[in-house]
Amino acid sequence: MPSIYSGKTAKGLIFFFAAMVGVILLTVIANLRSKVVAKLNAPEDGVRKFFTCGNWLVAVSPKGEVYTWDWNQLTLKPRKYSFDAEDLTVTENGFVIFAPRPHTETLVIRDLQGKAEEKVIQLGANWRCKTLYTSRNGKFIAAGLVNETTPGRVGLGVVDCETGNVGIVVINAGIGGELLLKNVAISEDGALLAGVGGQEGGWIAVANMKDKKVLWEKTLEGTDKLYEVSFSPDGKRVYTGYGFTVYDFEVLPGKLVRKLTIDGSKRQEYITKIGVSPGVGLIAAGGMESGVTIWNTDSSAKMITIMPVHHIFVGMAFSLDSSLLATADMRADGIIKIWRIPKPR
């Protein structure tokens, strides 16, 4: 009996299967090249915040323990600090900025080396600090603020560690609405701020600090609250995520450029972290149970997926040269893993 597949059809099938095998082999090779090259002891009560700050890798625990490692000397023991804070962050030149419990209407700026006098900032106007964020180069600090008397009002702020001033862009929800702020980000030059959260769906906004104006804000259809936001190194793109999808926006004019999908199970979950490499065109995203997926931002090609990362994945951070990726576990006595990442092709 003659085959139903003949001529051009058979050649097409052979080509298709050969291409599939090639893709699978490239994925396997990439994952083999992405291996754990170091393991670090995390704070005893786990990690809730994890980021790169200039040359430093920083882990913050739920109880306010801060561990810092030099990316160039990860084998050395970390420097350790402790703060009773609602949230905190650090700068590359050795300052810590924190909202002390229970007085989150203030921010404290402290020199970890003890060379500069401590500053206490009164936010005023019923503002309270919800979250703090450092740009990847460690030079600029963003503050996410909520208003104690007006639930629908949030503030995106920039903290000046030298003067103690806080510039604030105010965002109001619509009539009868309630805007829940979950996270903030600041561009590498300190000119742009972004905030994410929820307002009848996932909400994202971008503001210009020079004019102290909101450039745009959007509610993403089919989403709930958004928890993660990050700028590209040049400040021209901003990323957020929901479920298994990373949303890539042009900062101007606020256009959604593309969607990237992470690997994982079929169950619904939130992307808990988005990481952007400092300059070689990589973006990474991960959820509680989905591992970490890395794309080439130029081609949108999926490079590798690291599985499994941790029992309860909570954060990741690229090294300055983007050759390493650190991932952290939320659990107490968890381990921070350092992975070697292949260069994009």
The full set of domains in the chain, from first to last, is: 83-261 (2.130.10.10)
| Residue keyed to tokens 């909202």 | 99
* Distance (Å, whole) CA 299 – CA 321: 20
CA angle 118, 97, 274 (to 5 degrees): 165
Please check the confidence at residue 32 and state whether its pLDDT lies above 70.
no
| Residue keyed to tokens 């003890």 | 114
User: For residues 197-219, b (16+ Cβ closer than 10 Å) or e, as one string?
Assistant: bbbeebbbbbbebeeeebbebbe
Segment 120-144, tens digit of pLDDT:
999 988 999 999 999 989 999 999 9
What phi and psi values does residue 31 have, to the nearest 5 degrees? -70, -35
* Distance (Å, whole) CA 325 – CA 306: 11
Q: Name which residue leads in pLDDT, 224 or 265.
A: 224
* Distance (Å, whole) CA 126 – CA 121: 13
Beta strands in 114-270 (DSSP E): 119-122, 127-134, 141-147, 153-159, 166-172, 180-186, 192-198, 202-208, 213-220, 229-231, 237-242, 245-250, 256-261
Segment 169-216, tens digit of pLDDT:
999 875 446 788 999 999 999 999 999 998 778 999 999 999 999 999
Q: Which helix (H) or strand (E) holds 67?
A: strand 65-70
225 by DSSP, 3-state: which?
A: coil
Q: How confident is the model at residue 35 (pLDDT cuts 50, 70, 90)?
A: confident
How many residues in total does the chain contain? 345
* Distance (Å, whole) CA 64 – CA 9: 64
329, 311 Cβ separation under 8 angstroms:
yes
